[in-house]
Copies of this chain bind each other. A is one copy, B any other.
Amino acid sequence: MNSSNLIGKPLLEVDTPSLLLDAEAMQANLNLMARYFQGRPAKLRPHFKSHKCSRLARLQMQAGAVGITCAKLGEAEALADAGIRDILIANQIVGPIKIARLVALARRAAPMVAVDSAENIRMLSEAAAAAGVTIRILVEVNIGMNRCGVEPGTPALELARLIHSLPGLKFEGLQGYEGHIVDLRDEAERTVKVRAAMKPLVETRRLIESIGLPVHIVSGGGTGTYTITGDLPGIDEVQAGSYACMDWWYSDIRAEFRQAQSILATVISRPTANEAVIDVGRKGVGAEFGPPRVKNLPGARVDKFGSEEHTTVTLPDGQTLPVGGRVEIIPSHGCTTSNLYREYIVHKNGVVTDVWPIDGSGKMQ
């Protein structure tokens, strides 16, 4: 059945595996996060990488987000196609093919990109100036994750100066992502470590401001740290993404958000009295933080996980689940799960209310 024909049908008529989105739970998450940022100095710029769905991104904008964050240029193009203009690509856009696409995007939206090298800055400037557009730039600062980014202090200041001196670019500020500690299980430990990690980022802001260069945006944070990073003086924007749909890895430390997404699966085999094999595996479940958990079936758990298209659910004694029965599971990682699907089956009270394309799925380029 064509998915759009599903609207108004019960979930029982949805083929499996499908990625379900509970509309009420998702909206409650959006509202809760919006309330947190209401009246605060820091603003929310939700990360698209978590759900990759522009329909959902537009709801986030309606709930007060100042713009959208994304990881890839292809995601930014999908957002622009959906009418969203203020887009942070929180990564380096490198090489002539990508930069030509970025310049084209700047004609129909207001993209902002991260940089961490002088070569990249010079190439961006040349292309933007030649095309007569302005690209907004954040200098990425390494605050302990040791992935991309220059060191805080003088190295960041020098790049800021370079950006400011070149045509076609606008220095907007800094980005520093505490990804190495964003999901620490212990809240007290997370709070202490995140504050310490963000300190050199804010100090770098002050250093740059001290030479008379305005810093408009300092961006960082995630779902695990929105109340920590989002509460720090000197932080302007938080890039939280997972809060909208959630996963069990974040649910364990962020119980204030509801579990809005799940994977609907069908039992295809009952190999033993207490095992039910369902029709989804690694190709449909983001599992970097552990195997999926079973929803609405107390005592059931996933002990065997690893096949591409199968997951074995271990049932508690006395639980029946026939071949053909339905099970919902919650992935440990929502961001890598949504990327495996092409659409969200949006539902309310067990009935499909809409089907939203996951238009950022596979947009790695």
Contacts and interface: CB of A to CB of B under 8 A. Distances in A.
Name the prevailing secondary structure of the A interface residues.
Answer: loop
A58 interface: no
A55 interface: no
A161 to B, nearest CB: 19
A1 B104 CA distance: 12
A120 B309 contact: no
Interface in A294-346: 304, 306-310, 312, 322-324, 335-336, 339-342
A324 B119 contact: yes
Interface stretch (A79-87, A140-148, A186-194, A348-356): A140-148
Contact of A308 (B49, B306, B322, B324): B49
Nearest to A52: B283
Assembly stoichiometry (copies): 2
Interface residues of A, number: 61
A331 B336 CA distance: 17
B322 A269 contact: no
Given A15-B365, A288-B282, A362-B340, A323 B269 contact: no
B97 A308 contact: no
Interface of A: 1, 13, 15-18, 49, 71-72, 91-95, 97-98, 116-117, 119-120, 123, 142, 146-150, 179, 266-271, 277, 279-280, 282-284, 288, 304, 306-310, 312, 322-324, 335-336, 339-342, 361-362, 364-365
8 contacts: A15-B365, A16-B365, A18-B365, A91-B279, A92-B268, A95-B324, A120-B323, A283-B364
